[in-house]
Amino acid sequence: MIVNNENIDETILPSTLENFTLLREKAIAYLERSATGNWTDFNVHDPGITIMEAICYGLADVGFRMNFPMADLLVDEKGNLPPKSFYYANEILPNHAVTINDFRKILIDLNLIKNAWITPLLTDNEAIQLDYEPTYFYKKEGVLIFKQQVKDLPISQAEKTEILENCKVFVKGLYAINIEFETQPILGNIDSGETFEGIYEKDFFGDIYYDIKNWNELINNKLVLKKIADTYTISPNAITINILNSPKNKFNNSDGKLDERVLSEWYYDLEIIIDATTIFTLKEVLFQPYLQSKKGISGKDLKNILTKNSFVFFNTCFSKIQALSEAYSQIQTIVNANRNLCEDFLPQIGAIPSIEFRICADIDVESKADLETEEAIIFKKIEEYLSPTIPFYTFKELVEKGMPIEDILEGPLLSHGFILEQEMGPNSFQNTTINLSDIINAIYETEGLINCRNVQIHLIDENGKSIENANNWEIKVPDGFKPILNKRKSKLLFYKNGLPLLANFKESIVKLNILNINSIKQTNSKVPAPIFKNSYRDLALHY
């Protein structure tokens, strides 16, 4: 039997290895060539020949067994393998997360996470380490201490100042995590403060759209999220909301009759109060009614709807907060379960700040096209261009692509399938550029579209005004921000046979949510077990 450094090469084993007679003849021939001067008796009574025959028999027995699959050698008379006879590929090849891409994979595998970026801290970057406790070296005792411990040291104020200014220690092996949330089937984009809520009052039937301006500030404060989520889960009635008028309303309140006016847009600041303490204030929340029989709503009626039935109207808002809090908990659990020796992750897990942009276009469509469906598909394609979905593959799909099993199962085993690293994109969300030509190409993939004209895109500042850009074909997004499409402020003017038409915005968003439901992650990480065609072999019958 010939053995190399890795495995037994079955192709070069002698086909006659189990032939005892042939092995005996070859062994005696070898002895005759090599030991004729000292060994002359090759008859069966010679002890040396007896030992040689025993060796030949052992080789023949091994050769006999090697002609059968391993499973045949292990099965019982009924053809059953003993439990745990073999370790399968999915048990021995995968490993815990090691590389940055490994950690990105286990985060992307979570139901609430669409993408993740992990940044090693190579310098003392205070901008990233917002909740990281600085460490200082106390020379006298030769120990590391936290900033808050410096003030308690039994030394002079001058010595404390010296430590704070000159003895700061940068801890290596730390990583910052930035994430993008996955669109949810019912809640929609949980990293967006906009949604539709249905109202079913006697005089008010339809939907109210609202958009929370400082939603990104809230989702980056996981402690506040957890406080609100835990309270809402255990006792929703323990949360109260104080509604404050905003100066952004179209009419001032000089006559004290603002709440009596009927407006198509309302702005309020909403204080979320728990245990008589304001936990967070939702700033400049826009409310826009889409009612079946009315075009607007008075401030008095809107406030009544908002506060009625223990704030049931805000169910989507609080459900998003619960989902966000759960996402942060899952992230911390999984990275801490996989983190490497001498490495750690900052407790600050950041959702990437967003900057809005709007699109305007004239679009010619076929006469039979449904405008709301067309608009929903265009919105979907633009969002997919801005933030491509990282696909999961099944084991079978990758095998059909020709990937070796050891490559498929390299890295951590995920619950939703397998991710190809070349499709994950770079480990950076900086230097983003929106190319108008790419958006036009994405729009042209919409079925039923004939032509697309006068396409313009504009970034929007926090006051809703367009940001000037020198190059209309290439929009540079500020570093550290991700662009998101503001659908409400976009305007897609459709033309059917030359007649200009607008889609119903609410129905377009409903159909967009349906499209998002169809694109949620599917769980399929099953690795099929090998199929053994077992045959019982009575090895004692060999002679």
pLDDT tens digits, 119-154: 887 766 555 544 556 788 888 888 888 777 888 888
0.85 surpassed by pTM? no
pLDDT of 4: 45
pLDDT of 3: 44
**HSE (side-chain half, CA atoms, 13 Å) at 29:** 6
Strands 205-211 and 433-435: unpaired
Q: What angle do CA 101, 103, 106 make, to 5 degrees?
A: 110
pLDDT of 44: 85
Contact between 243 and 278 (Cβ < 8 Å):
no
Instruction: State whether residue 273 is helix, strand or coil.
Output: strand
Task: Give every residue of the chain whose pLDDT is below 50, as ranges.
Answer: 1-5, 8, 129-130
pLDDT tens digits, 30-51: 888 888 778 878 888 888 899 9
pLDDT of 2: 44
pLDDT of 102: 94
In the 3-class helix/strand/coil scheme, how is 492-514 assigned residue by residue? EEEEECCEEEECCHHHHHHHHHH
pLDDT tens digits, 196-253: 888 887 778 888 889 998 898 898 888 899 999 999 999 888 888 889 988 888 787 7
pLDDT of 356: 86
Burial 286-297 (b: 16+ CB within 10 A, else e): bbbbbbeebeeb
pLDDT of 324: 93
pLDDT of 536: 80
Instruction: State whether residue 83 is helix, strand or coil.
Output: coil
In the 3-class helix/strand/coil scheme, how is 301-358 assigned residue by residue? HHHHHHHCCCCHHHHHHHHHHHHHHHHHHHHHHHHHHHCCCCCEEEEEEEECCEEEEE
pLDDT of 169: 79
